[in-house]
Structure 1
Amino acid sequence: MPSLVKRCLIYLAGLFILSSGVVLMIKSNVGIAPWDALNVALSERIGLTVGSWVFIVGGILIFVNSIIRRKVPNLAGLIPILIIGVFVDLLNLKLLSSMEVEPILLRWVLFVGGLSVLALGIVIYLRAALPTVPNDELMLAITERTGWGIHVTKTIGEIAALLLAVMWQGPVGLGTIIVVVCLGLFVGLFDQLLSKAGVPRSFTVRSMDE
């Protein structure tokens, strides 16, 4: 199998895992990730599906990232947000539409599981070295400019999204605060675990052929 095909499969798998984490946290109903809270708020207040707002907000972030990096906007970032938008709507409106969890303990279990799945999906798809989701590119852009770790820069991006979600009166809860504090740590943890397992941070053609 050609290396590019393998990278694309890893990429799609990571994005699907990421999207699954998003929807699991939405279904937990104890607070969701700040970017997702913003997308849900915009969907409820303006219209369109959550997946549509994933694409629209991501498109805006592409231009924000270009300002931070002082480079031409990376329009390739439209690819992952289009894929994620489709996955989120497929899972949220079709495959998992009937999922309802009532006991509070099980809702928190679902939330923690969703947070872990989200972080794992981020780490996996980034390793394919294909177009980056704009809000993750924001993390990488800040890292490039400051030299800070991705757990720090991811948290900065989540705080910015949290402020916007509160402004639009999104479904912000205790779980949202936990995401702000812990998502960067979870991403860093899974990044280290995969690195220690011998999975490179970037799947170049050579590494995939080996």
Structure 2
Amino acid sequence: MKKIISTFTRLFIGLFLFAVGIVMTINANLGLAPWDVFHQGITNVINITIGRANIIVGFILLILNSFLGEKIGWGTICNMIFIGSFMDLLMLNHLIPTFNSVFPSVIMMLMGMFVIGVASFYYISAGLGSGPRDGLMVALTKKTGKSVRFIRNSIELTALFIGYFLGGHVGVGTVIMSLGIGYFMQFSFKIFKFDVAAVEHRFIDEDIKFLKDKLIRRKACKDTSEDINEINI
């Protein structure tokens, strides 16, 4: 139980920090990351918050990933629900300041990317499955045989292209984040001496199988106990 609590605490620290980092990059007002351009474009079309747009897109990708054969973890579902919810909590209550001048905006964006990098460490190290967007990247890489870099760039460019035509905010910050977020993640992993390749994720189907096996064993033990009692009688 302590291990489960510790794992989910790590997961939710990561998800909350991820939301903080995203809102910091949004409030920097220099242009959004490709996926957030897409999310903001959706808000322009159906008049919802950017957090809810994040959740809706995550849900659609979750279904798509399932059809593509990608396994789903508890972290995948929590990612889909809580990052968007935390974003709305932060943005609707104005808990993170907004900047309009260049220098503080750049600082805010760089800090936001660093926070996202730290959040990625906490979230991924929990070992409860990848987020819907990363899951799509993995699934398409397996299906097409193309490189991770090609698939990731293709997905993000598609999200950016659609989001831009839906009215999402594209600017110099979009370029900075597209090129720089990987370096910030790598830097954060280096600080925590974290090897992402060493993480063994646990998926929902494994937990279902574990519970099913446990119920079967319990039923078998109960039936055996009843048989012994009948013999003794």
Instruction: Verify same fold: TM over 0.5.
Output: yes
Equivalent pair of 1:21/1:117 in contact (CA under 8 Å): yes
5+ residue gaps, structure 2, are: 203-233
Change (3 A) 1:143 1:128: farther
Which residue in the other structure is 1:63 paired with?
63
SS for the counterpart of 2:93 is helix
Q: Which of 128, 136, 139 is 2:137 aligned to?
A: 139
CA shift, 1:201, in A, is: 4.4
Larger Rg: 2
Percent identity, aligned pairs only, is 28
Q: How many Å separate the matches in 1 of 2:117 and 2:85? A: 19
Matches within 5 A, 1:31-50: 31-50=31-50
5+ residue gaps, structure 1, are: 206-210
Q: How many Å separate the matches in 1 of 2:200 and 2:9? A: 12
In the alignment, does 2:29 pair up with 1:25? no
Deviates more, 1:100-109 or 1:24-33: 100-109
Q: How many Å separate the matches in 2 of 1:16 and 1:60? A: 22
Q: How many Å separate the matches in 2 of 1:138 and 1:204? A: 16
CA RMSD of aligned residues (A): 2.9
Which residue in the other structure is 1:159 paired with?
157
Q: How many Å separate the matches in 2 of 1:184 and 1:198? A: 15
CA shift, 1:27, in A, is: 0.6
Equivalent pair of 1:39/1:53 in contact (CA under 8 Å): yes
- Number of residue pairs matched? 200
Which residue in the other structure is 2:80 paired with?
81
Give per-residue Cα distances to partners, 1:27-54, cap 9 Å, x unaligned. 1000111111211221123111111111
In the alignment, does 2:13 pair up with 1:16? no
TM-score under structure 1 length normalisation: 0.80
Equivalent pair of 2:34/2:174 in contact (CA under 8 Å): yes
Which residue in the other structure is 2:199 paired with?
202
Change (3 A) 1:186 1:157: farther
Equivalent pair of 1:28/1:101 in contact (CA under 8 Å): yes
CA shift, 1:142, in A, is: 4.4
Change (3 A) 1:135 1:158: same
CA shift, 1:100, in A, is: 2.8
